[in-house]
Amino acid sequence: MTENRFFNRSEFIGILLLAVFLVVVLPLTLDVFRLNLVAKYLTYAFVALGLVICWGYGGILSLGQGVFFGLGGYCMAMFLKLEASSVENTKIQSTPGIPDFMDWNQITALPLFWKPFHSLTFTIAAIILVPGIFALIIGTAMFKRRVGGTYFAIITQAVAAILTILIVGQQGYTGGINGMTDLRTLKGWDIRPDHAKIVLYFFEVGCLFACIMIAQFVRHSKLGRILVAMREKEDRVRFSGYSVANFKIFAFCIAAVFAAIGGAMFALNVGFMSPSFVGIVPSIEMVIYTAVGGRLSILGAIYGTLLVNFAKTSLSETFPELWLFGLGGLFIAVVLAFPNGLAGIWSDYVQPRIDRLISSRKPKPEGWTDSSVADGAPAE
């Protein structure tokens, strides 16, 4: 248990605590409505998790994670929408059997790229592959030419802007600004009632832990060390004979796939998908979650996501005026004072005290576990 490929002891305890928190504490204490809110927040945690690998470890800041979140979400939503618009459900339309927004936009036949989404297997494959291949193309084009840092951030941002404008503009094919609403069933199983919400919540938490395990594996493998080395001194890694571009592409792709899974979960849990989760503003907000939680900490990113979203919901309910000031101030404070976020505060101030407490009781601790987040200074 102490040292294996996935985690050391303190990380294991951390993951266990998170599991207890998400699987036992939250479902027991919250009503279904609030639990569904948590499920919505956790969909962003997938994105934050990907950003830890890509940004925290790889040093690649992507401001276009909303693109992949959106692609995953739209793939899922297209499947659900097709199922919701069966011929008997859409009898009143002038063309039954196609989604309602197509009918409103005078489209009379299902467009070709919609057809494969009748199949759930294809949809699940598409959720992973479409964003993955898209990230592969962008990553290859950019990293092979050694474009990185700020330029990459700006270009991913432009991609986010393009996709949003495209989705909003092509109303007949995508549902436009309203997105795809009124999603009902998954293979005949109604996703709207309370018990379905609870099942979906646990399913999502399961997926999240699977992703955490993958992230942990990447982190503790040789690959993770190369990523960190690359972030710190890219040229040295290149001169040591590693293909820096390929590692960057991998990190970017894995972040994209995580984000896409999050998007698909969003469509399932929340019951709709719209371009307001694709553009620049949500993409940057997702970066904030990671920054607040700690860009170097896998668990920190998840707590950060939950915390910022809880704050957002409660603050914007009570003081809508103050919320943007709070969010902006939080950004500036995190960047200026706590570049390693909550996890940094934890490992700098809380962890040493706990360690001291334990070591004062037990004179000789069994083995110093390296602090879970202190993997070096933040990128650039």
Binding site for other proteins (CB under 8 A): 61, 63, 141-142, 145-147, 149-151, 153-155, 157-159, 161-162, 165-166, 168-169, 280-281, 284, 287-288, 291, 321, 324-325, 327-332, 334-336, 339, 378-380
- In the complex, the smallest distance separating the C-beta of residue 272 from other proteins, rounded to whole angstroms, is 21
208/334 with CB nearer other proteins: 334
Task: Choose among 244, 239, 103, 270: nearest CA to 175.
Answer: 103
CA distances for 311 relative to 21, 47, 70, 308, 375, angstroms: 18, 18, 24, 5, 28
- In the complex, the smallest distance separating the C-beta of residue 89 from other proteins, rounded to whole angstroms, is 30
φ/ψ of 88, rounded to 5, equals -75, -25
**Which residues fall within 8 angstroms of residue 194, CB to CB, at 6 or more apart?**
32
DSSP 128-187: HHHHHHHHHHHHHHHHTTT--HHHHHHHHHHHHHHHHHHHHH-HHHH-GGG-B----EET
49/142 with CB nearer other proteins: 142
- In the complex, the smallest distance separating the C-beta of residue 160 from other proteins, rounded to whole angstroms, is 8
Structure tokens at 177: 């600004």
113/189 with CB nearer other proteins: 113
- In the complex, the smallest distance separating the C-beta of residue 138 from other proteins, rounded to whole angstroms, is 8
- Tell the residue number behind the tokens 């979906």, with chain if given: 200
- In the complex, the smallest distance separating the C-beta of residue 107 from other proteins, rounded to whole angstroms, is 16
φ/ψ of 276, rounded to 5, equals -70, -5
230/291 with CB nearer other proteins: 291
For 102, the enclosing helix (H) or strand (E) is helix 100-104
- In the complex, the smallest distance separating the C-beta of residue 166 from other proteins, rounded to whole angstroms, is 5
149/352 with CB nearer other proteins: 149
- In the complex, the smallest distance separating the C-beta of residue 223 from other proteins, rounded to whole angstroms, is 22
Number of helices (H) and strands (E) in the chain: give both, helices first: 17, 2
38/379 with CB nearer other proteins: 379
21/325 with CB nearer other proteins: 325
φ/ψ of 77, rounded to 5, equals -65, -35
Q: Are 205 and 22 in contact (CB under 8 A)?
A: yes
- In the complex, the smallest distance separating the C-beta of residue 227 from other proteins, rounded to whole angstroms, is 16
Torsion over CA: 302, 42, 284, 70 (sign): positive
205/292 with CB nearer other proteins: 292
Structure tokens at 227: 């990523």
The rounded distance, in Å, linking the Cα atoms of 242 and 58 is 14
